[in-house]
A and B are shown apart, each in its own frame.
Chain A
Amino acid sequence: MSTIHCQSKPKGTEAKTEQSAYTDDILKIKYITKGNAKFKRTPGGFVSLEFEGKFYSRVSVYRAFPFTNPDSFISIRQPDEKAEEIGIIRSLNELDKETAEIIREQLNIRYFTPEIKKIIDIKDEYGYAYFDVLTDRGACRFTIRMNTSSVIRLSETRILIVDIDGNRFEIPDITKLSAAELKKLDLFI
């Protein structure tokens, strides 16, 4: 058993071991930039990436701030379950147009969230609310559970609705709704 040392040692005298170098590496953000990476559409409709000398035949894209900063801090990850991070794109604007477009396509499908343009009807009954709405993708109906956090206020005016199966819908600005629509929604906000 080793003895206990209580003296504090001056920093910096510790030997840099392989271990701490490894940790340092983990702690740094690995940025993917225009210069060091090449994204490509695959024939199968996915995205491949060449980065730091490695080729990834398929990558997943994650938003770090999907609501507050959807175009920045895009985390590129392995497509498997572990989803290890490959790197981060600081901002889509820093990429060339073509690449940004490729990434955006993937983001759009991953974060598929219809915007509710018009509320036609909301019926609430026995713990469930049935929505009949018009979205930017067309008319649709869905069901949410009452009494849980199905309706999330992202900001004073912005609302996210999550249905019983986890599907998401968004109202970007509730002040744009008509008085009658607001009244229907009143119950939830």
Chain B
Amino acid sequence: MVLDTTNTVNLPKNLIEQLEGYGISADSIFISALADMNLDCQYEPCYIIVCKDKLVMALGTTKKRETHIYGKHRDSSKLFQSYQWAVKIFDLNKYDSLDIQPLISGGVLFGVKDENPVSLVAFSGSQMGDFRRLVNVYNKLAKNEELTDEDLKPEDDDIFCPKCGAIYPDRARKICPKCMDRRSVFFRMLAYFKPYTGKIVVMMLCYLGAAGLNLVWPYLNGTVLYDKVFGKNEEFLRFVGLPAGKFTVLLAAVVLSMVITKFIGQVLGIIQGVMTAKIVPDVVKTIKSQVFDSMGRLSINFFTSRQTGSLMTRVLDDANFITGFFIDGLPYFFINVLTIISTCTVLVMINWKLAIASLILLPLLTFVSYKLLPRLWHYYGKRHRASRSLYGQLNDNLTGARVVKAFGQEDREIKRFERYNSQMRDAELSLVGFDNRFYALYSAVQNIASFIVWGFGSIIVLYTGDLEVGMLISFAGYVTQLNGPLDFMSHIFRWWAESANSAQRIFEIIDSHPEVAERDNPVHMPEIKGKIKINNMTFGYEPNKPVLKNIDLEIKPGELLGIVGRSGAGKSTLVNLISRLYDPDEGDIYIDDVNIKDMSFKDLRRSVAMVSQETYIFMGTVAENIAYSNPDATPEQIVAAAIAASAHDFICKMPDGYDTIIGSSGRELSGGERQRISIARAILANPKILILDEATASVDTETERAIQRSLDRLVKGRTTISIAHRLSTLANADRLVVLDEGRITECGTHEELIKLEGTYYKLVQLQKEALTIRGISEEDI
């Protein structure tokens, strides 16, 4: 037996040295785990180490006050450098076995000697995986069983970015957004505009033209008008090639050029507007469909971990914010940047002293907004979250309206709504408050700039003569012209803050990789036989809280397997895993000897159909609902499926028959009717593997019989997994499996399980008794 122990030693350096002093070499260590608390709930590191023939406990103490760090450590050898280790070494027979008593998070490790449990150390939830593995290794060694490399394989440890140490947002992808994806949100957003380069060039030209005209305008109505025309400047007359004294003509020419300037400006504006209108909706559409696309790809977990209402606001609101910004914001941003730069240049050219005086406040302004920007972001994020929970609450209320009314809890719901509503208001208030302060600062700086121009400018005109009056007017015109763009720049920060926030969130959805993802080169299996094999599978919805434990199960093609078990035993979870709505934490599931992780989604979904416990009716007609799995189904097929599901009768009795609109805003169906539509849907899908999760729980026994009979016909040559509490539902099952607390406790035919006199037997007895109570009382009458 040669075991690979190279990866197992992740102990502090000083501890390893100390251990070597005691004759325990690093490569004799099989496994170790860090208990980060003692039994009095104080942070105190204690390494539990299992070697070839020893159990070591190393308790760390230090004089310094150290910060306790939860979670995995990137480099364990550097940990606890300043600690002293009190090492205790035991033989492996010190305890017959080790075990874990789970806590709310984390657990207590205890050893069992002669049936007596002795608690050893406690650890936080972060260490649970390590301790599970350690316990497994110890118990195998104690029982003299062979260890495998699998037992010693460390858990997926590389969850940190090696560069910056941050946790990967997506553990499967191992991409650190900070280190890898340095493209900022902005440039990523901009990338959406790439296909429209031609139009954008035209737009840019328009901006340039407009910015140029902006430069001409103050010059015309300042210097030219006042100094040259009203000031009767003969030189200028000669310069433009007019005969001497013809100032009326000059005036007409100047006015005309002013009109033309304005006119061209308007035309450029229109062209640019048209271009914008052409580009932006397309881009927005792309973004929206990308978001929706990724939402469709995302795993079930994504949807259950977020409120549906908040998802909707997210997509709609965010796309709209971004639309707004890119329609109105970005183009003006360019125009304004150009204007600011060129205007400043001209100002410096006219009179650099005055220019410096009036522009001195600009850098200050930029600095202030740069400083305040993150704060603004923060307030926007906060308001968004508030609105999200408000919508979520609203959504909950609307969908749960029936329950609310049934229990007469309208008032309480209103109060609850009030709470979210005031949270929203508070968020809005603090946002507006901050925004106002921000804006006030801007106006102040602008006003001061204006004072400086006129005051300082008048002095120059009066005393130095460096400047003519018309020039000053032009100058003031330029400075005023700066106000608009500057104003806008302060605005665009807010705007940008808001839409970048939205963009970030949208990218979050677009980027979020489904936890359950299709492999790159999936195996295509057009025809499957329907064999299912589950191999030592463990799964939990939350970390370290397994719902299914070490499930081993093999289902033959064409078999009808019944699953029974207490509510909450994990039955639905098991079938969810078979249809790959989630992936197992450990172990694998095979269909026809192909790991379902390798199967293409299309083939998997086509081969496996599930009638789930929670029926779902889409908005649409009955026929559409039944044909959901196969939109090309002929009416004949639809009716046949409905008949097989005993749904035909009630559908025909509805005035609109198969064209009745059902779903959220349509006609309401009874629970059993919904179930039957779901069954028809599954039947029409014609899958090789059919899963019925309490599929007939809400229909009466007679209808169930009818469905059963048609299912019997259907399940021929089809693997069927049927979950039921009512045992009569499983009367035809070839084999039955009893799930208890996430483990398969019994498995066999009805007769075998009866003979076993276990849980199943008890269930049968109970249900029989339940029926005979009736029987007895009937006779009593």
Question: Which residue from A44, A138, A165 sits with its C-beta under 8 Å from B125?
Answer: A165
B778 at interface (Cβ–Cβ under 8 A)? yes
* A167 and B766 form a contact (CB under 8 A): no
B119 CB within 8 Å of chain A = yes
Given A108-B41, A110-B104, A167-B126, is A17 in contact with B776 using a C-beta cutoff of 8 Å? yes
The segment from A31-39, A87-95, A122-130 found at the interface with B is A122-130
In the assembled complex, B459 has its CB within 8 A of some CB on chain A: no
Considering only residues 91-132 of chain B, those with a C-beta below 8 Å from chain A are: 101, 103-106, 108, 110, 115-119, 122, 124-126, 128
CA distance A5 to B780 in the complex (A): 13
A-B contact pairs, 30 of them (CB 8 A): A2-B774, A2-B775, A13-B780, A14-B773, A14-B780, A19-B766, A19-B769, A19-B770, A44-B119, A108-B41, A109-B41, A109-B103, A126-B166, A126-B169, A126-B178, A128-B167, A128-B169, A137-B42, A137-B43, A137-B68, A141-B68, A142-B70, A143-B167, A162-B105, A164-B543, A165-B71, A165-B125, A167-B124, A167-B125, A187-B381
Q: Are A166 and B166 in contact (CB under 8 A)?
A: no
> Taking the nearest CB of chain A, how far is it from the CB of B179, in angstroms?
10
Q: Taking the complex as formed, is B508 at the interface, i.e. its CB lies under 8 A from any CB of chain A?
A: yes
Q: Flag if B382 contacts A186 (CB, 8 Å).
A: yes
Known: A19-B769, A60-B101. A42 touches B777 (CB 8 A): no
User: What is the interface of chain A mostly: helix, strand, loop, or mixed?
Assistant: loop
**A168-B780 contact, Cβ under 8 Å, with A44-B116, A44-B118:** no
Do residues A17 and B773 form an inter-chain contact, with CB atoms below 8 A?
A: yes
Docked CA distance A70–B532 (Å): 46
- Chain A residues lying within 8 Å of B178, measured Cβ to Cβ, are 125-126
18 more contacts with CB within 8 A, not counting A111-B104, A166-B543, are A13-B777, A15-B776, A42-B117, A43-B118, A46-B119, A57-B117, A58-B117, A82-B741, A110-B103, A140-B69, A141-B69, A162-B105, A163-B71, A164-B71, A165-B124, A165-B126, A165-B128, A167-B105
Question: Within the complex, what minimum Cβ distance (angstroms) separates B501 from chain A?
Answer: 12
* A81-B741, A126-B166, A187-B382 as given contacts; A5 in contact with B71, CB under 8 Å: no
**Which residues of A are found within 8 Å of B619, using beta-carbon distances?**
none
Q: Is A154 an interface residue (CB 8 A)?
A: no
Chain B residue total in the interface (Cβ 8 A)? 59
**Binding site secondary structure of chain B:** mixed
Kindly supply a per-residue 1/0 record for chain A positions 40-71, scoring 1 wherever the CB is within 8 Å of any chain B CB and 0 otherwise: 00111110000000000110100000100000
Asked if B67 is at the interface (CB within 8 A of a chain A CB), the reply is yes
Q: With A46-B117, A126-B169, A128-B166 in contact, do A163 and B776 touch (Cβ < 8 Å)?
A: no
On whether A43 and B116 interact (CB within 8 A), knowing A143-B70, A165-B126, the answer reads: yes
* Minimum CB–CB distance for A22 against chain B, Å: 9
- Asked if B666 CB lies within 8 Å of chain A CBs, one says no
The 8 closest A-B pairs by CB, nearest first: A44-B118, A45-B119, A142-B70, A140-B68, A166-B125, A165-B126, A165-B125, A166-B105
> Are A166 and B544 neighbours in the complex by a CB distance under 8 Å?
yes
Cα separation A81 to B745 with both chains bound (whole Å) = 13
Partner of A168, one of B105, B128, B542, B543: B105
**Contact in complex: A141, B777 (CB < 8 Å):** no
Contact B41 A186 (CB under 8 A): no
Residues of A within 8 A of B545 (CB): 166
B773: contacting residue among A13, A19, A58, A142, CB under 8 A: A19
B101 and A9 form a contact (CB under 8 A): no
Write the nearest CB–CB distance from A164 to chain B, whole angstroms. Answer: 7
Q: What B residues does A66 contact at CB under 8 A? A: 104
Take A140-B67, A143-B71, A165-B71 as given contacts and tell me if A109 and B39 are in contact as well, using a CB distance cutoff of 8 Å: yes
Q: Within A164-186, which residues are at the interface with B (CB < 8 Å)?
A: 164-168, 186
Whether A9 and B128, one on each chain, are in contact in the complex, defined by CB atoms closer than 8 angstroms, is no
B433 at interface (Cβ–Cβ under 8 A)? no
Whether B144 is near chain A, meaning CB under 8 Å from some CB there, is: no
Q: Is the CB of A165 within 8 A of B543?
A: yes
Is the Cβ of B104 less than 8 Å from the Cβ of A112? Answer: yes
Give the chain A neighbours of B177 by CB distance below 8 A.
Answer: 126
Q: Give CA–CA (A143, B305) in the complex, Å.
A: 18
Q: B37 in the interface, Cβ–Cβ < 8 Å?
A: yes
**A19-B770, A109-B39, A112-B106 known; A139-B116 Cβ under 8 A:** no
Considering the chains assembled together, what is the distance between the CA atoms of A88 and B456 in angstroms? 86
B378 within 8 A of A: yes
